[in-house]
């Protein structure tokens, strides 16, 4: 019984170590650039004013995924999101 308990403990420890190692690799470095990505913002969760000038503040998107509402995402991400369209790129703050 003791050897099976030890084997289970070693297996669990191995799985935890492997998942920690993978998660450490999966977290990207701080982005060097950000993209203004339109068409993916959720209602009330846009980053700033609408592209068409209908409002000038964050959090005022009336519906999900409007083509004039945007959020900043790390450069290279927007094109990977269904419905996303890059409108501008800016450098990240150092």
pLDDT for 27: 64
**What's the token pair of residue 69?**
């509402």
SS3 of residue 89 by DSSP: strand
Mean pLDDT by 10 residues, the chain (94 residues): 55 53 62 96 96 96 97 96 95 82
Render 31-55 in DSSP notation, one character per residue.
PSEEEEEES-PPTT--SSS-TTSS-
- Domain regions of the chain by residue span: 33-91
Q: How confident is the model at residue 72, as a pLDDT?
A: 96
């Amino acid at each position: 019984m003791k050897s099976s308990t030890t084997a289970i403990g070693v297996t669990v420890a191995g799985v935890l170590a492997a998942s920690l190692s993978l998660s450490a690799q999966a977290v990207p470095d701080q982005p060097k650039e950000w993209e203004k990505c339109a068409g993916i913002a959720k209602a009330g969760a846009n980053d700033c004013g609408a592209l068409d000038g209908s409002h000038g503040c964050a959090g005022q998107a009336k519906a999900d995924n409007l083509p004039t509402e945007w959020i900043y995402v790390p450069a290279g991400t927007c094109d990977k999101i269904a419905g996303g369209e890059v409108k501008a790129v800016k450098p990240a703050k150092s």
